[in-house]
């Protein structure tokens, strides 16, 4: 392959992720932080920033920040101050955002993950707490922008990475890991499309082998992982083209147009905001003690890596299965419930990664919306283990009917006349019939063509209309032929 001008360059990316914390109330007051209420119903003089009101820090938000700090191997700050970041915008009623400027609650952490089979570690510059702004709605009224202040003051963490990311794929894998973490930690629902996780990407390029940074573009407010990847790939080409054409890059803020797949300049550094940060005079510092951190640590939910180990070591699953079952919180939580209902961990994994996964794919559902409760899958497993049915009948006939009707598997199997027979007398009779029907084949078998066993067993199964226990049939058939 011939070298192109692009091969000489690498892309340098740092990501800033804003994640909305799933606390009941807002960051600095008691207004509800629930999503989806009628516009401007979850506001009070406090979230509207009326003069004379005083903010108070939400303790749950501190706890959630400590959880993500611990999960990302961060140092947790003891003395936390808050600061005002001043700017004017219609959806920012106070005229400033209360954030953490010089004292982010978490520093020096990292996030490790795999991308295309390779291990990757991205260092975190900081994680800090802040509040969200309200929402400007541009597409309802043709003449006016509407403002909904329900979101004003809801708590956010901002996770800022070092410029350690080197491709769109790495960015996607990193975001996947962040979403996995916040979901496992139960601190954010992680739904990017609904705006509860938003991403800004700082993107620059440089000649491979050099270490200086060129001016970067900051692509703001992307709400899907794929768009982050697309923006990075677009910026790489655009910036390399500019440099190769002898143009000078400038530091600027850009927006991503998801329909055209391009980024557009919004403002350059000369027009950047001066936020005039200063310490928030109305909030005393919040002290996070070692005892408090220890307490949060003791109550931390199990994370993906820990569950994966457990599935392998305690339940004997292969690494591949353990990884798939622990990759997402909702999958592992279903599997854990299933483990509590059945002693057969391997069969439970096979059901999850086979019939259940296929069903979800066909229906376009996520596991959290899977209609079968774990006790139904556990009953299917039990029926197979007890010889009442086999995996093939259970997964292709009983399971779909259980999914459609909501009935218990035993009831469905009885109603559909699908319970298999462990009646030795009946099976022996069918075996005798088959042997009588194929005398030449039996002779071939006895002469060494052992592969014919499958044919004989298949004939018995057919004659029984699929109800003969295949394991038992296999055993009895072999005994008969070897006799």
How many Cβ atoms sit within 10 Å of the Cβ of residue 251? 15
- Tell me the C-alpha distance between 14 and 203, whole Å: 7
Residue whose CB is less far from Mn ion, 25 or 99: 99
Residue whose CB is less far from Mn ion, 158 or 235: 158
3-class SS of residue 121: strand
- DSSP letters, 261-294, are TEEEEEEEGGG------EE-TTS--EE--HHHHH
Q: How many CA atoms are closer than 13 Å to the CA of 442, on its beta-carbon side?
A: 15
Place of tokens 């197979």: 384
93 Cβ contact list (under 8 Å, min separation 6): 47, 48, 49, 134, 149, 152
Residue whose CB is less far from Mn ion, 31 or 158: 158
Hey, what's the torsion of the CAs at 333, 336, 340, 346, to 10 degrees? Answer: 140
3-class SS of residue 415: helix
Residue whose CB is less far from Mn ion, 128 or 467: 128
Residue whose CB is less far from Mn ion, 157 or 317: 157
- Least Å distance, CB 158 to Mn ion, is 4
Output the residue with the shortest Cβ distance to Mn ion: 158
CB 54 within 8 A of CB 94: no
- Tell me the C-alpha distance between 476 and 98, whole Å: 76
- Least Å distance, CB 218 to Mn ion, is 12
Residue whose CB is less far from Mn ion, 199 or 431: 199
- Least Å distance, CB 260 to Mn ion, is 27
Residue whose CB is less far from Mn ion, 40 or 86: 86
- Least Å distance, CB 407 to Mn ion, is 51
Q: How many helices (H) and strands (E) does the chain have?
A: 17, 17
- Least Å distance, CB 178 to Mn ion, is 15
Give bridge partners of residue 111 from the DSSP assignment: 122
**Which among 280, 297, 289 has a CA at the least distance from the CA of 130?**
280
Q: Are strands 75-76 and 96-99 parallel, antiparallel or unpaired?
A: unpaired
- Least Å distance, CB 255 to Mn ion, is 17
Q: Which long-range contacts (CB under 8 A, 24 or more apart) does 378-384 make?
A: 378/338, 378/341, 378/342, 378/348, 379/408, 379/409, 379/410, 380/351, 380/409, 381/342, 381/344, 381/347, 381/348, 381/351, 382/342, 383/409, 383/410, 383/413, 384/347
- Least Å distance, CB 121 to Mn ion, is 24
Residue whose CB is less far from Mn ion, 220 or 480: 220
- Binding residues for Mn ion (CB under 5 A): 158
Residue whose CB is less far from Mn ion, 21 or 324: 21
Phi, psi (degrees; rounded to nearest 5) at 107: -140, 165
- Least Å distance, CB 35 to Mn ion, is 19
Residue whose CB is less far from Mn ion, 18 or 77: 18
- Least Å distance, CB 156 to Mn ion, is 7
- Least Å distance, CB 27 to Mn ion, is 12
Packed helices 424-437 and 470-482: angle between N→C axes, nearest 10 degrees:
50
């Amino acid at each position: 392959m011939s070298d192109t001008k692009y091969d000489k360059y690498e892309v340098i990316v740092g990501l800033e992720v804003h994640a909305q914390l799933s606390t009941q109330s807002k960051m600095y007051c008691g207004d509800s932080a629930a999503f989806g209420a009628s516009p401007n119903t979850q506001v009070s003089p406090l979230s509207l920033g009326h003069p004379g009101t005083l903010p108070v820090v939400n303790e749950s938000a501190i706890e959630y920040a400590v959880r993500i700090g611990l999960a990302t191997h961060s140092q947790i700050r003891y003395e936390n101050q808050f600061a005002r970041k001043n700017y004017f915008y219609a959806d920012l009623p106070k005229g400033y955002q209360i954030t953490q400027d010089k004292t982010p609650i978490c520093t020096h952490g990292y996030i490790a993950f795999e991308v295309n089979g390779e291990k990757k570690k991205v260092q975190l510059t900081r994680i800090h707490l802040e509040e969200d702004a309200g929402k400007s709605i541009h597409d309802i009224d043709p003449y006016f922008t509407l403002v909904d202040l329900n979101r004003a003051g809801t708590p956010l963490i901002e996770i800022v990475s070092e410029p350690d990311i080197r491709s769109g794929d790495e960015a996607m894998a990193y975001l996947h890991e962040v979403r996995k973490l916040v979901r496992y930690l139960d601190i954010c629902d992680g739904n990017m499309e609904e705006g509860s996780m938003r991403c800004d990407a700082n993107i620059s390029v440089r000649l491979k082998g050099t270490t200086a940074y060129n001016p970067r573009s900051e692509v703001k407010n992307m709400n899907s992982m794929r768009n982050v990847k697309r923006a990075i790939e677009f910026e790489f080409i655009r910036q390399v083209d500019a440099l190769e054409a002898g143009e000078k890059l400038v530091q600027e803020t850009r927006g991503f147009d998801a329909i055209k797949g391009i980024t557009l300049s919004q403002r350059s550094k000369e027009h950047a905001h001066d936020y005039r940060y200063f310490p928030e005079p109305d909030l005393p510092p919040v002290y996070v003690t070692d005892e408090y951190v220890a307490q949060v640590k003791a109550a931390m939910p199990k994370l993906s890596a820990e569950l994966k180990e457990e599935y392998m070591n305690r339940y004997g699953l292969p690494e591949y299965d353990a990884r798939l079952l622990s990759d997402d919180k909702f999958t592992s939580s279903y599997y854990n419930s299933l483990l509590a209902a059945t002693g057969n961990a391997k069969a439970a994994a096979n059901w999850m990664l086979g019939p259940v996964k296929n069903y979800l794919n066909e229906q376009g559902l996520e596991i959290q919306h899977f209609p079968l409760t774990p006790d139904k899958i556990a009953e299917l497993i039990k029926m197979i283990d007890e010889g009442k049915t086999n995996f093939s009948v259970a997964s292709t006939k009983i399971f779909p009917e259980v999914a459609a009707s909501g009935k218990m598997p035993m009831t469905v199997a009885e109603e559909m006349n699908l319970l298999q027979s462990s009646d030795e007398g009946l099976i022996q009779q069918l075996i005798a019939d088959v042997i009588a029907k194929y005398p030449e084949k039996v002779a071939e078998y006895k002469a060494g063509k052992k592969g014919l066993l499958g044919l004989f067993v298949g004939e018995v199964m057919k004659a029984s209309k699929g109800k003969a226990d295949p394991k038992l049939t296999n055993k009895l058939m072999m005994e008969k032929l070897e006799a």
